[in-house]
Amino acid sequence: MRGWVDTVMKKIFLLFSRGKLLSIDNSNSGVQKIQISNLANETISDIERYQEYGFENYPIITNAETITLFINGNRNANKGINIVVNNRGLRPADLQKGDVCIYSKDSNNSNKNRVWIKPVNNEIEISTADNNIIKINGEGVIITDTNNNVIETKNTGIEIKDSVGNNIKISGVTVDINGNTKTFVTYAELNAAKNLLLGLLNSHKHTLVQAGLGTSGPTDTPFVCDITAAESQKARTG
């Protein structure tokens, strides 16, 4: 009886192992296979590493730890199934309660890229190693590049800002460039005003230029003003 119990207990003891990741074989199209070290002088190869559908990763090996399941306690090669690879030195430690983060780093704990879901702020943040950031929240979307240039979309409109303070705001049919204290005149509006002014100048008559009630005729040389060169070819609206 004692021998049977010892056999069962040994099998239970060998069902799970906590070890260190030694290598990864990512060449198999079906599943990754890893090599781990568990107990003293115990190295096991060809362990299948299962991952959730839709999610796939290639862990940093340095300082990575593993949890592995062995069917019937069989520790032979190709008999284990890895269920967790963790690296406590690389995990982001700035998450708040309820946050979810998908991240990648290098072995120096730098060059981080991550998607950070923040339910408390109702926000999703996507950031790259070069510090390009996209924030999506209830107010809109904010895109910031590594040079601190910003594109911000809100319910009230769109704002584009560069790193030195220049900005363009678009709200409905209104566009403000570096403020709203000045207004633009379109080429058509300027041309119409010019034609009106030239018409008045070329058709006016002088009174009281001589004795009596006569008036002078129109100007001998009509005024000419060509503003076609003022038409913008870069900035237009419709």
Indicate yes or no: pTM above 0.75.
no
Give tens-digit pLDDT for 31-60: 999 999 987 788 999 999 999 999 999 999
Domain tally, the chain: 3
Q: What are phi and psi of 6, to 5 degrees?
A: -65, -40
Q: CB burial class (10 A; 0-12, 13-18, 19+) of residue 9? A: exposed
Strand order from edge to edge, sheet including 150-154 = 100-104, 113-118, 123-127, 133-137, 140-144, 150-154, 157-161, 167-171, 174-177
Give tens-digit pLDDT for 180-206: 777 777 778 888 888 888 887 777 766
CATH code where residue 6 lies: 2.40.50
In the predicted structure, residue 116 carries a pLDDT above the cut 80: yes
Are 126 and 196 part of one and the same domain?
A: no
Are 11 and 79 part of one and the same domain?
A: yes
Domain of 42?
2-86
CB 4 within 8 A of CB 12: no
Which residue, 60, 86, 112, sits at the end of a domain? 86
- What separation in angstroms does the CA of 231 have from each of 178, 180, 211? 22, 22, 47
Quote the pLDDT of residue 59: 92
* Domain-located, residue 94: no
Q: What are phi and psi of 30, to 5 degrees?
A: -85, -50
CA distance 15 to 11: 6
Which residue, 39, 58, 86, sits at the end of a domain? 86
CA distance 176 to 183: 9
